[in-house]
């Protein structure tokens, strides 16, 4: 294993240990969040209220030495509430930019599907280009700008489906389930004392393992993880198969191919390898593709799920040796 990949693995291991001081269980969720950050992309986090979606992102910001801001999405939220606006200053006789919460490194878009599409789309330019245009002036965002958008399951009351163009800009969909019994029991016992997750985070027990500047440098080190040509062809065929499957109305686009490649490479680095295997691609296929596919109504009525479709595609596409 190369020294650079070894350094990435060491940093990721220490990050997981620090996050584990606050977040009980959810190891796969933490790994997927770290993959999102270290590849410079964005993630959807879905789960019922109370499973620590917001706490997870706050903890990651502390551990990785980045700024943090939170937006609570509501039906009456306006785009200017996210990006900011120019306000006339009477003393200076000029307009002054009042920056919105989007000007940060880690942005938590809490319950993003509570707001209508017009407000959701205010994040599109920021997510794609790390730029924000306000009154025809363009402003740059930090290089570590990452959006973690939490959403309640779509069947919950008062939710709006995300536009397909915006869903495609999220690299992963991370599903947070309720903890297991032992984990929930541990949480309950800690809540009765001074070691509740919120108290641990507020008390300074969680320490940064890297600076914001070093984080940008470490992203480049993932380029040392080797992906063989036949594996690139394999994951490309997996994505292309989603466009031809009989139960899929809208398949994954080329951005999904890029996302699956980068996510598989980061997954290999977390495992301590400087090369990607077919199992890495299979492990990341569902979180990368799940939110991008739209099933045909007749198959949805029959109870077919997107996850089942992706698993069938993985079985059908030939794995290179």
pLDDT tens per residue across span 37-85: 989 899 999 887 788 888 899 999 999 988 999 999 888 888 889 998 8
Q: Decide which of 184, 219, 254 is a domain's last residue.
A: 219
Same domain (yes/no): 28, 176: yes
> Count of domains in the chain?
2
Same domain (yes/no): 182, 307: no
In the chain, % of residues over pLDDT 70? 96
The residue among 154 and 120 whose pLDDT is bigger is 120
d(CA 260, CA 206): 31
d(CA 87, CA 85): 6
CATH number at residue 321: 1.10.8.80
Same domain (yes/no): 160, 233: no
Contact 282, 271 (CB under 8 A): no
Same domain (yes/no): 124, 142: yes
Query: Which pLDDT does position 117 carry in this prediction?
Result: 75
Query: Which pLDDT does position 293 carry in this prediction?
Result: 92
In a domain, 10, yes or no: no
Same domain (yes/no): 32, 106: yes
Same domain (yes/no): 233, 293: yes
Least confident of 13-22, 80-89, 198-207, 274-283: 198-207
The predicted model scores a pTM of 0.88
In a domain, 240, yes or no: yes
Same domain (yes/no): 186, 270: no
Q: Which of 36, 108, 57 is nearest to 259 (CA)?
A: 36
In a domain, 212, yes or no: yes
Same domain (yes/no): 95, 164: yes
- Neighbour-count burial of 82, counting CB atoms closer than 10 A to its CB (0-12 exposed, 13-18 middle, 19+ buried): buried
Query: Which pLDDT does position 157 carry in this prediction?
Result: 56
Same domain (yes/no): 30, 158: yes
CATH number at residue 67: 3.40.50.300
Least confident of 96-105, 111-120, 130-139: 111-120
| pLDDT-based confidence at residue 4 (cuts at 50, 70, 90) | low
Indicate the SS3 state at residue 24.
coil
In a domain, 81, yes or no: yes
Domain that holds residue 302: 225-321
In a domain, 206, yes or no: yes
The residue among 280 and 11 whose pLDDT is bigger is 280
d(CA 119, CA 135): 17
pLDDT tens per residue across span 135-192: 888 889 998 899 999 887 655 556 677 777 788 889 999 998 888 889 888 888 888 7
Same domain (yes/no): 190, 132: yes
In a domain, 169, yes or no: yes
Q: How far is CA 255 from CA 143, 174, 285, in A?
A: 20, 18, 13
Query: Which pLDDT does position 112 carry in this prediction?
Result: 85
Q: To the nearest whole number, what is the mean pLDDT of the chain? A: 87
Contact 44, 151 (CB under 8 A): yes
In a domain, 1, yes or no: no
């Amino acid at each position: 294993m190369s020294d650079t990949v070894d350094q990435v693995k060491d940093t990721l291991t220490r990050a997981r240990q620090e996050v584990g001081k606050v977040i009980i269980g959810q190891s796969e969720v933490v790994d997927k969040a770290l993959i999102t950050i270290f590849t410079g992309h964005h993630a959807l986090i879905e789960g019922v209220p109370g499973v620590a979606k917001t706490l997870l992102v706050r903890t990651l910001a502390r551990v990785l030495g980045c700024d943090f801001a939170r937006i609570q999405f509501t039906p009456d939220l306006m785009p200017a509430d996210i990006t900011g606006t120019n306000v006339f200053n009477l003393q200076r006789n000029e307009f002054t930019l009042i920056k919105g919460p989007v000007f940060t490194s880690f942005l938590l878009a809490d319950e993003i599907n509570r707001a209508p599409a017009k407000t959701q789309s205010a994040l599109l330019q920021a997510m794609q280009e790390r730029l924000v245009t306000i009154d025809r002036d363009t402003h740059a965002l930090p290089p570590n700008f990452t959006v973690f958008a939490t959403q309640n399951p779509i069947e919950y009351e008062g939710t709006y489906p995300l536009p397909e163009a915006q869903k495609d800009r999220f690299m992963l969909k991370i599903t947070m389930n309720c903890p297991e019994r032992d984990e929930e029991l541990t949480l309950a016992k800690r809540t009765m004392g001074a070691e509740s997750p919120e108290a641990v985070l507020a008390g300074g027990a969680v320490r940064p393992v890297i600076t914001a500047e070093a984080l940008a440098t470490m992203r480049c080190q993932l380029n040392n993880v080797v992906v063989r040509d036949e594996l690139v062809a394999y994951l490309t065929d997996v994505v292309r198969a989603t466009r031809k499957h009989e139960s899929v109305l809208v398949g994954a686009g080329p951005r999904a191919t890029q996302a699956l490649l980068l996510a598989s490479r980061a997954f290999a680095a977390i495992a301590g390898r400087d090369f990607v295997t077919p199992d890495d691609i299979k492990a990341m296929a569902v979180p990368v593709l799940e939110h991008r596919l739209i099933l045909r109504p007749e198959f949805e009525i029959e109870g077919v799920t997107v996850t089942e479709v992706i698993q069938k595609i993985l079985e059908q596409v030939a794995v290179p040796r």
